[in-house]
Amino acid sequence: MKGWAWGTVPSSSCRRSLAGVAGICPVSALYGRPVRPVHGSVLPAPPTLRSFVLSSSASAVPSSTSHTTVSAQQPQTSQGQPPARGRGRKGKEKDMPLQLPNGHDRLLLHSCCAPCSGEPMQKMVDSGIDFTIFFYNPNIHPVREYEIRKEENIRFAQKHNITFIDADYDSDNWFERCKGLEFEPERGERCTVCFDMRFERTALYAHEHGFRVFTSSLGISRWKDMNQINGCGHRAAARYPDVEYWDYNWRKGGGSARMIEIAKAEHFYQQEYCGCVYSLRDSNKHRVSQGRERIRIGELYYGLPPGEKPDFVTKAGQESGEGDEAAISGLLQRERV
């Protein structure tokens, strides 16, 4: 069992320095709460040591934190059975154990959400790889959507005893870095800036905590540009001589289909947009033009009819969502878009 890992609330000057391509702060200035290991459960941080998230009114508010220690074991579905393995050529490729590059023995996995990380997690567990999940996604808005996605990921990590690092939700810094790119299309320059920011923080954590290699679940989605993601990953890793980015193709061997199978078996929350408020804005605009309803946060779950929620729905998912529209409007007005 590891010891405590301490951090302090990021200073405003440090947060501003992160807005540039250069200017990386030491990890002690990046994490606003202690990260501690527990077995099989998430414990709240001590009252004087809190994480910080952005509320719907754009102010910092405390939140609980987690860091779960684990041993690798066979993943189970919500019904307690291992998900079915693939057959044929793709199934055989999938069943081949993974090996980390250059003989490394452990990995830091940047996770964007539970649905996308489910297949990479299973494949690494099956391969006996020692890995830790790093959740750093200040691009997810509004805060209730962020909490639902994070809590889903924590639940799945706890279920399979995977170490989970809950990093800072510094969305102020994300908005600062994306200023002027509010109307960029998906896969455009704003996405590059977003990936850069998240991978820079992941690479820094890897460097300061002895991880020689990191990767991300982002590339498994067919909606993402894999070359764009890999370019950002390699660029972030190049900052540190002792860190490399593993650009493994999680889609191959039926990985994308397997991702959906696991999501349905686990009844993961089914997000309907990439994550940022600009993606939500554009998705709603398209839906309205097609005569469809606007996106309702916390409503859809894989493998369940619309409106039906699993018994283990997260705390954020249980909320009514009455303040979602106000939170979204507030974020857009704040950025004058």
Boundaries of every domain in the chain: 35-334
For 20-29, 47-56, 276-285, which range has the lowest pLDDT when averaged over its residues? 47-56
Dist CA 116 CA 259 (whole Å): 6
pLDDT at 254 over 70: yes
Percent of the chain's residues with pLDDT above 70: 66
Of 301 and 55, more confident: 301
pTM of the model: 0.73
Contacting residues for 176 by C-beta, under 8 A, at least 6 apart: 16, 19
Dist CA 321 CA 145 (whole Å): 10
pLDDT at 323: 61
Per-residue pLDDT averaged across 20-36, rounded?
35
Contacting residues for 164 by C-beta, under 8 A, at least 6 apart: 66, 67, 68, 132, 133, 135, 153, 154, 157, 158
Quick one: tokens of 46? 């001590």
**8 CB-contact burial (10 Å; exposed 0-12 / middle 13-18 / buried 19+):** middle
pLDDT at 12: 31
pLDDT at 317: 62
pLDDT at 331: 72
pLDDT at 96: 81
Nearest to 200 by CA among 155, 163, 221, 170: 170
| Mean pLDDT, the chain, integer | 76
Summarize pLDDT for 131-154 with one digit per residue, the tens: 999 999 999 999 999 999 999 999
List, in sequence order, every residue forming a beta bridge with 21; answer none if it has no partner: none
**For 301, how many CA atoms within 13 A lie in the half-sphere containing its CB?**
19
Handedness of CA 14, 17, 23, 24 (dihedral sign): positive
Phi, psi angles (nearest 5°) of residue 188? -90, -160
Summarize pLDDT for 164-203 with one digit per residue, the tens: 999 989 999 999 999 999 999 999 999 999 999 999 999 9
For 2-11, 128-137, 211-220, which range has the lowest pLDDT when averaged over its residues? 2-11
For 209-218, 241-250, 296-305, which range has the lowest pLDDT when averaged over its residues? 296-305
Summarize pLDDT for 67-106 with one digit per residue, the tens: 443 333 444 443 444 444 444 445 555 568 899 999 999 9
Quick one: tokens of 119? 């297949």
pLDDT band at 316 (very low <50, low <70, confident <90, very high): low
Contacting residues for 296 by C-beta, under 8 A, at least 6 apart: 321, 324
pLDDT at 213 over 80: yes
pLDDT at 57: 27
**For 10, how many CA atoms within 13 A lie in the half-sphere containing its CB?**
24
pLDDT band at 326 (very low <50, low <70, confident <90, very high): low
β pairing state of 163-166 and 130-135: parallel
Q: Which residue has the tokens 């102020």?
A: 172
Dist CA 67 CA 60 (whole Å): 21
pLDDT at 66: 44
| 35-334: CATH architecture | 3-Layer(aba) Sandwich (3.40)
Dist CA 229 CA 198 (whole Å): 11
Contacting residues for 144 by C-beta, under 8 A, at least 6 apart: 56, 297, 298, 316, 319, 321, 323, 324, 327
Quick one: tokens of 207? 């460097």
Per-residue pLDDT averaged across 215-230, rounded?
93
String of DSSP letters for 44-106: PPPTTS-EEEE-TTS-EEEE----B---------TTSSPPPPP-HHHHHHHHSPP--GGG--E
Of 83 and 117, more confident: 117
Per-residue pLDDT averaged across 23-29, rounded?
35
pLDDT at 120: 96
β pairing state of 244-245 and 130-135: unpaired
